[in-house]
Structure 1
């Protein structure tokens, strides 16, 4: 019996699960830091008062993370790249009809959710830079636009919170649905980085997918840290200018 090698581990068909690295460490850290920052942002804005400054700090942190994710979506590891899971109309229809093969990482519908959430978060941080409540907080770019523009963007910033909460609720519901009715644990891979596949189900995946493990070595992580560091410097400079 010939052994199969995935992520440097020795696995024997029909005896052990196939383990493939899907999410690299930078993506996993991005995901969980984003979760913490979003939670902190909602808590601080509802506390009001001096906590609004913490709301701004969380906003700058989310901006930094989003800029990193956008860049990493083009230069990151295999399954982190947008091109690897950008959903086409045909892919979405085939998936909904149940006629598409299983995929590693984001399925077409899940990809729509990811892009939607990234978009509304980008809208949130962008408008937040122009917010001026005339009491406790003024965004760093508010002084560069007329008051009516700042007020308009402030309204979008406030109303967009409902969209963000709705998408997050759908995201959590989808995780529960896949766990409850499809037996797929979507949380574990984003913690460990690995996708576990029963050898008996390997035929449901494209062979090319099973051979596309994401790189997650020292060089990959160092490159991600360099990108993040540069973004922190740029964002920090313009936020304190």
Structure 2
């Protein structure tokens, strides 16, 4: 978007949101690369993704400002109203995710949960590589879950493509840069949105909880 006359940039995305975003970008690419010949790395990448998704869910309720689901998840009326503005050339002044972007966030989180969840039960065709919960199901069921795991990844790839296209559309057509704010945390806006942060104890508790659950899942809840 064309920047405000003052060129003022205001705090929008906090550190945890930005770190989770870019770690997921890197780990999804890494998991894809490792899925053929480096399955041990693939598994550990998946466990890390589980932790990141769990933390993002926590931060959507316990975080502050634009990180909270309540700040960007809207109802059908707001979604339809935003759809009517998508084709306009003017930039977007919505601080944070717009109503359509909110649907994208929810879709990503849901598909990622399915992806990592199926990976926990999946079994390869030779029964040589398997998730930590694969012994809780039969080989046939494990193979079916593995197929769902692969199909769901195609859906995830589609979401990634749509996300990139949307970001480029906003950059080129609506002159709204959504990339730099996710790096710096700040974005040019007409005025300070006044988004409050969250106390440090919530961050520490969220990291601890997500890490503990991810570790427990990696062990198949065997201690």
Q: CA deviation at 1:135?
A: 4.0
Instruction: Give me the whole-angstrom Cα distance separating, in 1, the residues matched to 2:93 and 2:11.
Output: 16
Q: Which runs of 5 or more structure 2 residues have no equivalent in the other structure? A: 87-91
What pairs with 1:14-163 in structure 2 (closer than 5 Å)?
16-45=6-35, 48-49=36-37, 51-98=38-85, 102-133=93-124, 134-163=126-155
Instruction: Give me the whole-angstrom Cα distance separating, in 1, the residues matched to 2:204 and 2:23.
Output: 14
Q: Name the TM-score, length of structure 2 as normaliser.
A: 0.87
SS at match of 2:187: strand
Instruction: Give me the whole-angstrom Cα distance separating, in 2, the residues matched to 1:89 and 1:237.
Output: 38
**Residues 181 and 238 from structure 1, CA distance in 2 versus in 1: closer, same or farther, beyond 3 angstroms?**
closer
Aligned position for 2:89: none
Q: Which has the larger radius of gyration?
A: 1
Q: Which runs of 5 or more structure 1 residues have no equivalent in the other structure? A: 1-13, 203-209
Hey, which bits of structure 1, 4+ residues long, moved more than 3 A?
A: none
**Residues 15 and 91 from structure 1, CA distance in 2 versus in 1: closer, same or farther, beyond 3 angstroms?**
closer
Aligned position for 2:208: 229
Q: Which has the higher contact order (CA 8 A, sep 6+)?
A: 2
How many residues align? The count is: 211
